[in-house]
Structure 1
Amino acid sequence: MGHVGLLYVGAVLFVNGLMLLGTVSGKSAAAMNLFVGGMQVVFPTLIILQSGGDPAAVLGASGLYLFGFTYLYVAWNQLTGASGEGLGWFSLFVAACAVVYGILQFTEFDDPVFGMIWFSWAVLWFLFFLVLARGKDSLTRRTGWFTLLLGIFTGAVPAMLLLTGSYVTGAIEGAVAAVIGVVLLGLAWVLGKPAAVQSQEVPVER
């Protein structure tokens, strides 16, 4: 994934996480989804057109469309008031593709860190499927927190490392990335725990 594009993937995930948490309105979040979604469609198209048919370049660019179409779909839903079922089922498709791209990071690109990042994205998009297509509203806040945290730790942080030439990958770094992914999911589960419904008892006069 392009270093610059990854930075703004982090930004839009952060904003969408806040939207799911109810901090940012849907229409406010739609703008960022349009900007980044458009970029994540234009950039891979340019890469493919300039690749000269290089299979590695085409493969590397192809995954960007999954993000671009997701963000444009989010913007469409927020601006039109469309229901989320279609986006939810598309998210299931994206989750399955993300697993494949994660495996390819290990087998084709020798990049365990991004392999684990793709796996964490697969979990995220599967949560979108559960919330939007299967109506699991109890997972909304947990999905919001996971989206926000992944925006920071799988978007902004690795992008900055790549842009500054500080990115390192390998078996140890991949194991660390896996642990971080599990910790972030656990943290999101705790932070997004639905508030307990307090029983409203009518006081009995004595």
Structure 2
Amino acid sequence: MASVGLLYVGAVLLINGLMLLGLIPGKSAAPLNFFVGGMQVIFPTVILIQAEGDPAVTFAAAGLYLFGFTYLYVGLTQVTGVGPEGLGWFSLFVAVSAVVIGTLQFTLVSDPVFGVIWYLWAVLWLLFFLVLALGREPLTRVTGWFAAIGGQLTATLPAFLLLTGAYVSNAGTAAAMALAGTAALALSFYLGRQPAPQIKGQDEDPARPVPGFAVSPAVP
């Protein structure tokens, strides 16, 4: 179930990344945030009801609420005009949590690939914090590119691997993910320094600088 949600997280990260880049108006990005945010609240609720107190299942579902609420928050900021500062500080909390959960992926779950993925998400959410809470506007396009590119690497790709039974997590695949994530971050910083395009209707419906977030992984 969680791997299905992970697939759509890749989609919402792409849309929100394009929003940060100014290519999609904020109101156009809001519906998908509501759809995916709702999914990430419903799915963990179902999982927890069926868990019967199993600590491993509870751990796998716990992070989903963080991101489900975040997507809903993103959608609300776009349709109501509420400032993103609260979401920015919440992003810092998620970034710190991602470091903890990533470490537990190595030690508790023995899934080094998702350990690396959680660390990459921590970097992404730290960027969200810098942009939204601290107003570091020069990082907005960098964050948009990393959300769009990194979202496909850390959500869409593992989702398809999990859904097809081709997912493998070992030291080699974790190292490959770490190298790919580092390359994606470096590319995002390079692209983020390029001039921003102006799109038709951008002045009438500006895209507010709010992010999309990655979802807690499925535990194979």
- TM-score norm. by structure 1 comes to 0.93
Between the two proteins, the alignment pairs up a number of residues equal to 196
Separation in structure 1 between the aligned mates of residue 6 and residue 144 of structure 2, nearest angstrom: 19
Q: How does 1:60-139 map to 2 (within 5 A)?
A: 60-139=60-139
Is 1:31 the counterpart of 2:31? The answer is yes
Separation in structure 2 between the aligned mates of residue 104 and residue 23 of structure 1, nearest angstrom: 37
Give the match's secondary structure for 2:22: coil
**For the Cα contact (< 8 Å) 1:84–1:133, is it kept in 2?**
yes
Map 1:158-169 → 2, pairs under 5 A: 158-169=158-169
Return the alpha-carbon distance in structure 2 between the equivalents of residues 151 and 161 of structure 1.
Answer: 15
Percent of paired sites with the same residue: 62
Q: Distance in 2 between matches of 1:86 and 1:58?
A: 27
After superposition, the CA RMSD in angstroms is 1.2
Q: Which runs of 5+ in 2 are unaligned?
A: 197-220
Q: What corresponds to 1:22 in structure 2?
A: 22
Q: Which residue of 1 aligns with 2:44?
A: 44
Residue number in structure 2 paired with 1:201? none
Superposition deviation, residue 67 in structure 1 = 1.2
The answer as to whether partners of 1:19 and 1:144 remain within 8 angstroms in 2 is yes
8 Å CA contact 1:14–1:151 kept in 2: the answer is yes
1:152-174 CA distances to partner (integer Å, 9 max, x unpaired)?
11111110011000111101111
- Cα distance in 1 for residues equivalent to 2:116 and 2:67: 17
2:142 paired with 1:148: no
Cα distance, 1:194 vs. partner? 4.8
TM-score (norm 2): 0.87
Helix, strand or coil at the partner of 1:167: coil
CA contact (8 A) 1:138 1:194 kept: no
Distance 1:12 1:195 in 2: 24
Q: Give the match's secondary structure for 2:109.
A: coil
Extract unaligned runs of 5+ from structure 1: 197-206
C-alpha distance in 1, partners of 2:88/2:5?
Answer: 23
> What letter matches 1:150 in structure 2?
G
Instruction: List 4+ stretches of structure 1 deviating above 3 A.
Output: none
Q: Which of structures 1 and 2 has the larger relative contact order (alpha carbons within 8 angstroms, sep 6+)?
A: 2
Q: Report the residue type matching 2:31 in the other structure.
A: A
Aligned to 1:203: none
* 1:99/1:118 contact within 8 Å kept: yes
Larger radius of gyration: 1
1:2: Cα distance to partner?
A: 1.2
Aligned amino acid, residue 94 of structure 2: V
